[in-house]
Amino acid sequence: MILKRLSNYIETHQYVAESRLLSTFHISREGVAPMLAVLMQRGHIKKIVNTRGDRLSAQIFYSWQKDKMIPLVSVV
């Protein structure tokens, strides 16, 4: 149930920050990571990591891809 809601949320918004998912669904970072890994394996969700240099913590985003693809993590 929660996997479907996460998938629908990302599909609707197309590009979502991990912090937005954490606050919207009231789950911890440790809880959301395995769920999103499962969704990424299904092929529509892509993970993007923005490193922002060495002084700032990395930002994580998830985007929806219309066509199925190989699970992918992009580091910017």
Give the pLDDT band of residue 17 (cuts 50, 70, 90). very high
Answer for the pair 43, 71: CB distance below 8 angstroms, yes or no. Answer: yes
> How far, in Å, CA of 65 to CA of 76, rounded?
18
How far, CA to CA in Å, does 55 sit from each of 52, 58, 65? 8, 9, 31
Q: Which amino acid is at 38?
A: V
Two structure tokens written together for 46:
């892509």
How many other C-beta atoms can be found within 10 angstroms of the C-beta atom of residue 39? 20
The residue behind tokens 């929806």 is: 64
pLDDT digits (tens, 9 = 90+) for 37-60: 999 998 889 999 998 888 888 899
Query: Where do the structural domains in the chain lie, given as residue ranges?
Result: 2-75
